[in-house]
Structure 1
């Protein structure tokens, strides 16, 4: 299922944070949202999964304004992993993941066999099936991250919206998570700080700078030495990855490029 933003503008506290953003995440694609800190990535994603209301523009799910759907209906289609992870739930890991089934239930309804199967599969996918009975509050940051991702998988959505899903994960679990997203081929809109990971896993990239989309296209089209200097303020060379052939950004950690300037 395709999701896109159409001239999306978001403002709060008297300040415009996202301005006129056009994004597309095509069906089955992984679409990356990258940009410097403070560029508006989290704000844009929060608007996509209805945590924030746009000042102007629309979020379209298969051509329908998501605001025209009931929250329960949109939650059956779109699952989110926010950057702010919530409090220390006094729940077990399995109970947290089972919360992903809420949009499909009537009030006070229990889990059925299909629900339990989806929860089991989600826990296995993120490598947390052996921790189902542990308290969520007792987990490490990386373990919590994987459990909350499993909750999003258990929701069985058409679209995943993930805000920095590799935060708190060690290198092995970062690689496993990104490989899992590729294998699932679910429409995914994801923000990533790691530009090399974004270049490797994403089919399409949108670059956000000071609330404005300044570049869109395939990673090879978007990731250039010029963009790295202009938007991120770093000197870099873009070469082919020796193992995968994907674009690989080699940063110059000794010489700054100067202040980034959007054009």
Structure 2
């Protein structure tokens, strides 16, 4: 399924967070949202998984306005991993993951063979198959993250909406998660702070800045030294990753994060 976001506007207490954002996530592709803190990434994702209602604009799922779908219909198509992880569940790991099957069950209906197979696969994909009997409250932050990701997988959605899914994960599990997203080939809309991870895993990037989309396209076209200076306020060169050939951003951590970085954009471009 494809996601189209048309002219989205969101305001909180008189402050405009999104001001006419337009972007799309193509079917079967991983589409990344990047941008500075406060640029509207999480707000936009909340509108996609219906945690908030925009003041104007539409979110379309393969041409259908999400507002025309029931919550259950939406949950069968869209699974979300928000930054707000919810409270501590007094449940086992398996019980939390099994919650992902709720949109497919009638009230008080038990699990069937299909449910059990999907739950087991979701646990395995998230690397939590050996933790099924542990209490969710006993887990580390990274383990909880993987359990909640498994719950999203268990929904068997057409679309994944992930808000900073690599938070709390160590390097190994970050790499495994991003590889899993690539292998799954679901339509995925994901926000990432790590620009190098975004360059590696995403087919397309949308850069949010001051509530609007500042740039869109393949990572190599979007993540230029000029854009990094203008939007993120950093001096950087973009080179080829020595192992994968993906764009690799080399930041100058000694440069001040102010207007002076723009003066060095031309010199940084020589590394791209």
Question: Under TM normalisation by the shorter chain, which class is it?
Answer: over 0.9
Alignment of 1:21 with 2:21, yes or no, is: yes
1:162-241 to structure 2, matched below 5 A, reads 162-241=162-241
* CA distance in structure 2 between the aligned counterparts of 1:135 and 1:4, rounded to whole angstroms: 38
Number of aligned residue pairs: 261
* CA distance in structure 1 between the aligned counterparts of 2:66 and 2:179, rounded to whole angstroms: 29
* CA distance in structure 2 between the aligned counterparts of 1:233 and 1:254, rounded to whole angstroms: 13
* CA distance in structure 2 between the aligned counterparts of 1:243 and 1:250, rounded to whole angstroms: 15
* CA distance in structure 1 between the aligned counterparts of 2:42 and 2:113, rounded to whole angstroms: 35
Question: What's the counterpart of residue 59 of structure 1?
Answer: 59
The two structures have a TM-score, normalised by structure 2, of: 0.94
Instruction: Name the SS of the counterpart of 2:123 in structure 1.
Output: helix
* 1:124-143 CA distance string (max 9 Å, x none): 00110000010001100000
* CA distance in structure 2 between the aligned counterparts of 1:118 and 1:172, rounded to whole angstroms: 24
Instruction: Name the SS of the counterpart of 2:254 in structure 1.
Output: strand
* CA distance in structure 2 between the aligned counterparts of 1:143 and 1:78, rounded to whole angstroms: 23
Runs of 4+ in 1 over 3 A off after TM superposition: none
* CA distance in structure 2 between the aligned counterparts of 1:13 and 1:240, rounded to whole angstroms: 44
Instruction: Name the SS of the counterpart of 1:253 in structure 2.
Output: coil
Instruction: Name the SS of the counterpart of 2:20 in structure 1.
Output: strand
Question: What's the counterpart of residue 127 of structure 1?
Answer: 127
* 1:13-44 CA distance string (max 9 Å, x none): 22211111111100000000000011111010
* CA distance in structure 1 between the aligned counterparts of 2:238 and 2:4, rounded to whole angstroms: 29
Instruction: Name the SS of the counterpart of 1:255 in structure 2.
Output: coil
* CA distance in structure 2 between the aligned counterparts of 1:128 and 1:186, rounded to whole angstroms: 21
Instruction: Name the SS of the counterpart of 1:23 in structure 2.
Output: strand
Question: What's the counterpart of residue 91 of structure 2?
Answer: 91
- CA RMSD between the two structures: 1.1
* CA distance in structure 2 between the aligned counterparts of 1:101 and 1:18, rounded to whole angstroms: 33
* CA distance in structure 2 between the aligned counterparts of 1:256 and 1:56, rounded to whole angstroms: 38
The two structures have a TM-score, normalised by structure 1, of: 0.98
Gaps of 5+ in 2: 263-272
Question: What's the counterpart of residue 266 of structure 2?
Answer: none
* CA distance in structure 1 between the aligned counterparts of 2:213 and 2:11, rounded to whole angstroms: 16
